[in-house]
Amino acid sequence: MKNLSGLIIWSVLGILCIIYGLIVSRTGSGTGFFLVWIALGILALLLAAACRMQIWSRLPGILRTAAMILLLVFLAVFTIVQGKIVSRFHSAGKPDLDVVIVLGAQVYDYGPSRVLRNRLDTAAAYLKDNEGTMCIVSGGQGYNEPAPEAEIMKQYLTEQGIVPERIIIENQSRNTVENIRLSMKLMDPEQDYTGIVTNNFHVYRGCAIAEKTGIRHVCGLAAPSNRLYLPNNLLREFFGVVKDWLAGNMDLKD
């Protein structure tokens, strides 16, 4: 009975992961992260097959114990990191900041992606309410993008009514760390009160990198994200946080 339950659970999880991976692949995000979901689906199906063949019960006790310990450690780390990520989901920034940095994301021939439009709309709303705040748009040009992200971001903001003189372009960065480091050269990181504008799932890492890099006064402005793709974004962000922590780009702060 136990093996039958495991067979059903792992089979359903495997199929759902593969279907979700295929859904994510259709977003055209420019990354191959959807393959992680397909790999997880295949792994789950293999575990279903192992349940059917009763392989787990045949393994030596020490291997089963080691596997369970590793799984529990991973789940503990995953839960802690996700808790930190979710804790910044509703960051609203502070009024009258000196500067906001809008982190770049995928752009297309027709303009910013939905993810990036959410960031830019959040920035535009803030800039209209705080007329003394300057804005740095940060993002270089990927291999599959028609122009540097920052240039398209500035155009979008001006179309939303933000005067060009308030928008500073940083168009060389390729990732979040470079977004922050190169934007710092266009402001006073010691004195400026700074807001990091990005999607809710990305605020924690963006602010943590900014603090580690040397921006003294920093807060987050969380833009919304598509709920359908939130599981994918959260999983990807988990690996991003771990990678940047191991690389010394950020500290695991609350």
| CB contact set of 196 (below 8 Å; sequence gap of 6+) | 100, 101, 103, 180, 203, 206, 207, 210, 218, 219, 220, 221
* Mean pLDDT on 158-173: 96
Please report the pLDDT score of residue 108 as a whole number: 93
Residue 51's pLDDT band (cuts 50, 70, 90): confident
pLDDT of residue 100 exceeding 80, the answer is yes
3-state secondary structure of 242: helix
Q: pLDDT higher for 64 or 48?
A: 48
pLDDT digits (tens, 9 = 90+) for 106-132: 999 999 999 999 999 999 999 999 999
Question: Whats the size of the chain, residue-wise?
Answer: 254
Q: Which CATH architecture has domain 99-246?
A: 3-Layer(aba) Sandwich (3.40)
Q: Rounded to whole angstroms, how far apart are CA atoms 235 and 242?
A: 11
pLDDT averaged over the chain? 93
Contact (Cβ atoms closer than 8 angstroms) between residue 6 and residue 51: yes
The predicted model scores a pTM of: 0.89
Locate CATH 3.40.50.620 in the chain: 99-246
Please report the pLDDT score of residue 58 as a whole number: 80
Of the candidates 188, 208, 189, the one whose C-alpha atom is nearest the C-alpha of residue 198 is: 208
pLDDT digits (tens, 9 = 90+) for 53-83: 888 778 788 888 998 899 999 999 999 999 9
